[in-house]
Chains A and B, each alone.
Chain A
Amino acid sequence: MSGNRDLFSENVELSELVLEKTNRAFEQIRKEDRIFMKQTGVRRKKWFQTQAAAAACVGLLAVSGVSAFAAIHHYWGSGMDGMLQASDSEQQSLTEDGVAKVYREDASYASYRVSDQGVTIAPETVIVDEHFAYLTFAISGYSPAEGEETGFESVSAYLGDDPQAEDAWVNVVGTMYDGETDRDGELVYMIEAQAADDQTSLLGKTLNVSFQGLGSAAQARIDNAVDGSWEFALPLSNVSAAEDIAVAQDVADSGFTMTSVRISPISIRVDYEVDEAPQLHEDELGIPEVTGVLLKDGTKITDLTGGGSVGYTDDAKTGAYQFTGFGQVIAVDEVAALLVSVAPQTQPVEIALDR
């Protein structure tokens, strides 16, 4: 290639178009609040947990009493709508079942609102399963300037009472809902929390969330308009909507046999057996991964999954697992098959779920 080698070594010039689009990606990342942590050094903590729990019992009784006479129409809010695209009927059933909680419906809603420096933040909707929790918070008392992207200086979270504990780890991704307001004119902040490993369940745990400093995220930093702190201790539901399905099907061209599936409206865990684990190629374990679902009506939902983890369950690598979240709420009863990717750039194979 001596005559043509210049082609491969010559310097390329990045066009303004390329720079503009890549800079847009970097800017988007800078505006995103993402913390993987067990939080330390919490400045102030408003422990209203006990009071809220007691009030919640009263609230539950009150709501139950009302529901005997008139059904409540549950609405998750525009932020959760945008994040999980749940249908109205899914919002009703998952809230009725206790999988999702709409805080505005709680008689003790006022006790969940935290105010600092004139800005009030309150949990809006929380939906949870074993591995994932999605939360939205409504923010009032802050008016972004026209065109301003709003963000927090930091958002952090941990599970349980002790932020230093090993099981306090939780992975959290958060972002402002498109910088738009909900129907009450409030900003909405969305959080996706993910269990740190496949052995940790979020169900029944207390998720502590702390927001610090609210301001303009238009630049690579937050220009603090409000130097406040808002902290929450949210008891997560212990109700699971997951369905366990025994499978026992070989995943074609992989050497893996899918043995069981635990599928909920917002995530999935699958387990495999394998006689001989594939060679590790750089970072690829070679474990098949669920990427979508096939519904009973023939609809294929591809690119459904995100986040989570894959790995082996034992040192001998005879068992493997994957858990991953869904980008939208799924009606578990309607899932006919899983779409499983065996290798990059190949079509996913279908694994039927026979109940």
Chain B
Amino acid sequence: MQSSETRILVKRAQRHDKDAFTELMQLYMKDMYRTAIAILMNEEDAADAMQDTILACWEKLHTLKNTAYFKTWMTRILINCCYDMLRAHPAHEDVELYEEPSVWDEYNLELKEAYAAVDERYRVPMELYYSQGFRIREIAELLSISQNTVKTWLSRGRKQLQKYYRDC
């Protein structure tokens, strides 16, 4: 749930108040970034996904029926944008086409290195649960998986992360 101030911002943004929309999205920029990085593990792609998400949210905001769920709604759009990018650029998984890390990938290196030690499918629920405070049920709905699967993935992700820290 969001604060009443945030819900007022959502309502103002739904009435096409551009300043309110900008202020609203700025509140979630770092959460958006963390989620995008957890999926894409690439600064440039994360920036593109965030850009697409901001535009998509502005485009579709009038369809949001319950302002209390703005963050969940926005996060779903972001996750879809990220997976669309992964589908559109399968070359990321092609070793021969793998690009050299850019200067931007030096940002938040500790987070990226730790995430690199965790399977992608475990990273996203971990990020949403431990960092952003989403509930198990909400994560299950966001990722279209069962609540038991979320719990299993959180458990496996924790183990992978613990191993990473042990080996460091």
Contacts and interface: CB of A to CB of B under 8 A. Distances in A.
Nearest to B137: A281
Contacts of B46: 18
A147 interface: no
A5 B130 contact: yes
A16 B107 CA distance: 10
Given A24-B51, A282-B141, A283-B73, A29 B21 contact: yes
A186 B25 CA distance: 36
A145 interface: no
B44 A36 contact: no
Query: Chain A binding site: helix, strand, loop or mixed by DSSP?
Result: mixed
Query: Chain B binding site: helix, strand, loop or mixed by DSSP?
Result: helix
Interface string B56-69: 00110011111001
B136 to A, nearest CB: 14
Contacts of B111: 7, 10, 12
A253 B121 CA distance: 24
A25 B80 CA distance: 18
B50 A21 contact: yes
B76 interface: yes
A15 B109 CA distance: 12
A3 B158 CA distance: 11
Contact of B33 (A18, A309, A346): A18
Interface residues of A, number: 40
Contacts of B21: 29
A4 interface: yes
A25 B114 CA distance: 30
Interface residues of B, number: 51
Interface in A12-64: 12-18, 20-22, 24-26, 28-30, 34-36
Contact of B29 (A14, A281, A343): A14
B55 A281 contact: no
A282 B71 CA distance: 11
A28 B55 contact: yes
Contacts of A5: 130
A8 B131 contact: yes
A220 B69 CA distance: 28
A198 to B, nearest CB: 14
Q: Which of A10, A13, A29, A281 has the most chain B CB atoms inside 10 A of its CB?
A: A29
Contact of A3 (B30, B127, B162): B162
Interface in B12-51: 15-16, 18, 21-22, 25, 29-30, 33-34, 43-44, 46-48, 50-51
A193 to B, nearest CB: 14
B161 interface: yes
A9 interface: yes
A112 B18 CA distance: 32
A321 to B, nearest CB: 15
A21 B52 CA distance: 9
A7 B63 CA distance: 35
Contacts of A18: 29, 33, 43, 46-47, 50, 104
A21 B34 contact: no
Contact of A12 (B44, B48, B108, B126): B108
The 3 A-B residue pairs whose C-beta atoms are closest, nearest first, are: A8-B131, A25-B54, A8-B130
Interface of A: 1, 3-5, 7-18, 20-22, 24-26, 28-30, 34-36, 171, 220, 281-284, 306, 309, 343-346
12 contacts: A8-B127, A9-B131, A12-B108, A12-B111, A14-B107, A18-B43, A25-B52, A29-B55, A36-B15, A36-B62, A282-B72, A344-B80
